[in-house]
């Protein structure tokens, strides 16, 4: 496996794990909003490359034809999603006509794995005003990485979350994990409840072939364990994961 890294705190930790394992890697800068790597890597086998760095790397992945599927489109996971049963999907341009300004609170996030709007709770009035501000702009006035007229949003009922974990999945198995939030406190500890680990592995098992390597975030609520989201592992924070185990598992992946 050829490892390409963008240098910052998390990838420095990954590099230490790679050094322990005797795995070579190269450092690259990433052109913002473009995803071009500097220096440009000499790739021996395009099917055996792994990149870690900033979210902008998705541009490089898109250039090479890699397009992960949004997890909300995975029907097998719908019964386990946090508020998956009552989710409302609207493009930004449809919000003013389709969403009643009734004071109700919604948890809001873009469907695509993007940072156009971070996941957060807003009232219907706030959401409508946000949409109207964007819709008042011509689309060619809107900078890259911002909400656009056709951005698809997912809105769900807010739920109180008790604990949140990130799990790293490689070749169908959870290889490491980290607690990253307990109630409202951000905590990074290499620990997980047994039933949460079993739940996470069950989410992986019921959707085989979703991706050869990815992260899955799960949470405990007052109604039980739920699936929060999945993401590419290339730009996901490591928190307190065991990076030696993660690097070893990724480097051992067989090319499909």
Domains of the chain, by residue range, sit at 2-63, 83-156, 160-251
Among 44-48, 138-142, 163-167, 205-209, the minimum mean pLDDT is found in 44-48
Rounded distance, CA 218 to CA 235, Å?
18
Judged against a pLDDT cut of 70, whether residue 53 lies above it is answered with: yes
Asked if omega into 39 is within 30° of 0 (cis), the reply is: yes
Residue 69 pLDDT class (50, 70, 90 cuts):
very low
Rounded to 10°, the helix 243-251/9-21 angle is: 70
Rounded distance, CA 241 to CA 189, Å?
8
* pLDDT for the residue 66: 42
Residue 68 pLDDT class (50, 70, 90 cuts):
very low
> Tens of pLDDT along 175-212?
999 999 999 999 999 999 999 999 999 999 999 989 88
CA torsion sign for 117, 36, 29, 57 is positive
Rounded distance, CA 172 to CA 211, Å?
8
Rounded distance, CA 237 to CA 54, Å?
10
- CATH of 160-251, picked from 3.30.450.20, 2.60.40.10, 3.30.930.10, 3.30.470.20, is 3.30.470.20
Q: Percent of the chain having pLDDT more than 90?
A: 61
In Å, how far are 197, 223, 234 from 176, measured between CA atoms? 10, 25, 15
* pLDDT for the residue 219: 98
Judged against a pLDDT cut of 60, whether residue 159 lies above it is answered with: yes
Rounded distance, CA 61 to CA 53, Å?
12
* Predicted model pTM: 0.82
């Amino acid at each position: 496996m050829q490892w390409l890294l963008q240098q910052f705190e998390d990838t420095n930790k990954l590099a230490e794990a790679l050094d322990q394992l005797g795995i070579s890697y190269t450092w690259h800068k990433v052109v913002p909003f473009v995803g071009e790597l500097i220096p440009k890597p000499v790739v021996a086998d395009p099917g055996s490359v792994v990149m870690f760095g900033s979210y902008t790397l998705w541009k490089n992945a898109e250039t090479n034809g890699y397009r992960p599927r949004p997890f909300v489109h995975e029907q097998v996971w719908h019964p386990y999603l946090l508020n998956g049963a009552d989710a409302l999907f609207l493009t930004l341009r449809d919000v003013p006509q389709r969403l009643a300004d009734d004071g109700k609170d919604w948890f809001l996030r873009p469907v695509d794995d993007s940072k156009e709007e971070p996941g957060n709770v807003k009232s219907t009035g706030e959401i409508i005003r946000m949409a109207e501000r964007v819709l008042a702009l011509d689309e060619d006035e809107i900078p890259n990485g911002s909400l656009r007229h056709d951005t698809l949003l997912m809105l769900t009922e807010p739920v109180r979350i008790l604990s949140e974990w990130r799990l790293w999945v490689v070749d169908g198995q959870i290889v490491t994990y980290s607690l990253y939030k307990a109630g409202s406190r951000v905590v990074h500890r290499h620990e997980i409840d047994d039933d949460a680990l079993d739940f996470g592995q069950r989410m992986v098992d019921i959707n085989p072939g979703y991706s050869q390597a990815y992260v899955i975030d799960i949470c405990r609520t007052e109604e039980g364990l739920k699936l929060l989201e999945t993401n590419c592992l290339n730009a996901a924070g490591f928190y307190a994961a065991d990076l030696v185990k993660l690097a070893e598992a990724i480097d051992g992946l067989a090319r499909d």
